[in-house]
Structure 1
Amino acid sequence: LREDELAFYDAVCQNDSAVLQLGDETLKRIAHELVTVVRNNTSVDWDKREQVRALLRSRVRRLLTKYRYPPDKQESAIVLVMQQAELFAAEVAA
């Protein structure tokens, strides 16, 4: 995994049942796709515009659902992914 993917990988691996149920390779694919989703759906000051944040949350939720990420911790995974997206966007802007 690349450094940008690793942050998202760590976010989706917080759920033990996801690790057991989906396995490492699927979680790596999710992390890779999350980087693409974040890159394609963020722009300057995206984190200050609620409409853009809501769209990104929706896309992240759909991606997790696509891979059958366990619903018991999906919301906490989305929160962690959004936090990582903010850090990721700040690094890209710097």
Structure 2
Amino acid sequence: MDWMHREAARARMRVLVKRLLRKYGYPPDLQDAAVQKVLQQAEALSADCAA
């Protein structure tokens, strides 16, 4: 996937995830860990689809 290779695409994805977390009342102090987890899951899913 394109976002795996470009930092700008990764940054955009982080912004979108943070917006969703804020929208649904996720605790602010846990957001960074949640964003990292979502990015890891997306990378794993993308690797599985590419294989």
Is 2:47 the counterpart of 1:90?
Answer: yes
1:10-51 CA-to-partner distances (Å, cap 9, x unmatched) read xxxxxxxxxxxxxxxxxxxxxxxxxxxxxxxxxx24212000
Residue type of the alignment partner of 1:83: Q
Is 1:57 the equivalent of 2:14? yes
Q: Secondary structure of the equivalent of 2:39?
A: helix
Q: How many residues align?
A: 51
Q: State the TM-score, normalizing by the size of structure 1.
A: 0.51
> 1:70 offset after TM fit, Å?
0.6
TM-score (norm 2): 0.88
| Matching residue of 2:25 | 68
Structure 2 residue runs of 5 or longer lacking an equivalent are none
Q: Post-superposition, which runs of at least 4 consecutive aligned residues in structure 1 deviate over 2 A? A: none
Aligned residue type for 1:71: P
User: Is there any run of 5+ residues in structure 1 with no aligned partner, and where?
Assistant: 1-43
Q: Which secondary structure state, in structure 1, belongs to the residue aligned with residue 25 of structure 2?
A: coil
The aligned residue for residue 4 of structure 2 is 47
Matching residue of 1:78: 35
d(CA) in 1 for partners of 2:33 and 2:42? 14
What is the percentage of aligned positions where both structures have the same residue? 53
Structure number with bigger Rg:
1
